[in-house]
Amino acid sequence: MVQVQLRVPEQTVKEIDEWVEKGKFKSRSDAVKTIIALYEEKVKTMEFFRTLMKRSKESEKNPQILIPLDDSDI
């Protein structure tokens, strides 16, 4: 891993410290790493959603091989 230094508002650090005190995270570092991981997962999920929506629209042109989202049994 690479160590980085960052500047954040004092209030944000206080909130992170409260989370650590309450046991939500092991440390400030754990909190920041978790928040970054959650953001990365959100980005991946949005990319996947965009792909699904694009493929669903393509299904109108290719109904023999693609299934529109609204026709699925999900």
Confidence of residue 24 (pLDDT cuts 50, 70, 90): very high
Cβ atoms of 28 and 20 closer than 8 Å: yes
Lowest mean pLDDT among 6-10, 26-30, 32-36, 51-55: 51-55
| 0.85 surpassed by pTM | no
Alpha-carbon distances of 49 from 42, 45, 61, 65, 69, rounded to whole Å:
10, 6, 19, 19, 11
**pLDDT, position 69:** 65
Mean pLDDT, all residues of the chain: 88
